[in-house]
Amino acid sequence: MCDVLYSPWRLKYILSKKDEECIFCVRPSVQNDEKHLILFRSEHSFVIMNLFPYNNGHLMAVPFRHVSRLADLNKAEIDDLFETVQLCEKVMHRTYSPDGLNIGLNLGRAAGAGIEAHLHVHIVPRWNGDVNFMTAIGATRVIPESFERAFEQLKEQFEKASAQLEEQIDKAGVEK
């Protein structure tokens, strides 16, 4: 017997009309970060809130370059992307104090990628008991925080964490 991952709240995304253009290419190029839920930009990647989250605070770290596989990123891009994921982990703990995190990639449609043409890393906060009767029986996902409030809190923590990182680099005399 196998377990079933039941996520009916995702049906809205699955059935929605998809843009012809890649959202991970278009949204950061528009330079309207708050409207497009972009929280942080580094040299080679950015962090965006998931518009169809599994939990409040569900983030994605995305390379700017349009690639579908890790093997297509160069060393500088890989380093930057996973430093950004590491920053997301710090910000997530400072903002939400989750009991755990799911951090991962879905490479290809068969692996569950909703946007398979542009690589992205999911960072999902998890709490003990976050899959409760509403999800399991009621087929309804409860996200207890508005996107606006989540954006405001997360943005503040990204600004603080990146400032601290810059300060550490300056003190060490290392160029990033």
Mark whether 58 is an active-site residue.
no
> Taking the CB of residue 87, how many other CB atoms lie within 10 A of it?
21
Q: What's the length of the chain?
A: 176
- Exactly one of 44, 58, 120, 122 is catalytic; which is it? 120
Handedness of CA 83, 87, 93, 99 (dihedral sign): negative
Measured CA to CA, the distance from residue 82 to residue 86 in angstroms comes to: 6
CA-CA-CA-CA dihedral for 170, 151, 31, 160, to nearest 10: -10
Instruction: Return the active site residues.
Output: 120
